[in-house]
A = this chain, B = another copy of it.
Amino acid sequence: MVRADARENRARIVETARQALAEDGEVSMNQIAQRAGVGPGTLYRHYPSREALVLAVYQLDIAKLLDSVQELLQRHSPLDALRLWTTALVDAMRRKHGLGDALSPGARQSITESTYDPVIAAITQMLEAGQDDGTIRGDVNPGDFLQLTGALWRAASGPEDRSQSMLGLILDGISRGAPA
């Protein structure tokens, strides 16, 4: 039986860690515990290592990203929604890789696999919105788009971040009116 305070602590810890890690990727575990208003022992009870915590944060990031699709499509054009969403996705990928060798290869792979299907679904949804209103070409494959996202991440992690202009090129390419 999981107690209510435990459930609330758990949620507050990830949320706090998400903010703290966004501000400074090197915040200490004790600082996160303090900001979340729990003892260090409680933090470790829920997330037995730094790796486990950052992994949970990444999964929360992805979950929030998936939830954001609806709102983005309501407030922006499909192309702009796709641009904002992809930028956020690349940021999350960078943070995951920021873990460096602290993350076991197996864990990294399994998390990537477990998020593949919902990510494809989100991309599909935005592409279809653009196809419906005629701003995006009908022959764009969601898997291809995700593949290009990998290139964006590599560019963003490179010597100088050229990912925004690259993303601009890609979005031009999938726009209706662009040559096939």
Contact = CB atoms under 8 A, between A and B. Distances in A.
Q: Which 9 A-B residue pairings sit nearest by Cβ, starting from the closest?
A: A154-B154, A154-B158, A157-B157, A150-B159, A100-B100, A25-B101, A98-B100, A154-B157, A150-B158
10 contacts: A25-B101, A98-B100, A100-B100, A150-B158, A150-B159, A154-B154, A154-B155, A154-B157, A154-B158, A157-B157
Contacts of A155: 154
Contacts of A101: 25
Interface string A78-97: 00000000000000000000
Chain A, interface residues (CB within 8 Å), range: 10 to 19
Interface in A152-170: 154-155, 157-159
Interface string A126-156: 0000000000000000000000001000110
Interface in A22-41: 25
Interface of A: 25, 98, 100-101, 150, 154-155, 157-159
Nearest to A109: B159
A159 B150 CA distance: 9
Contacts of A25: 101
A177 B111 CA distance: 45
Residue picked from A100, A101, A157, A159, most chain B C-beta under 10 Å: A159
Contacts of A100: 98, 100
A124 B150 CA distance: 33
Contacts of A158: 150, 154
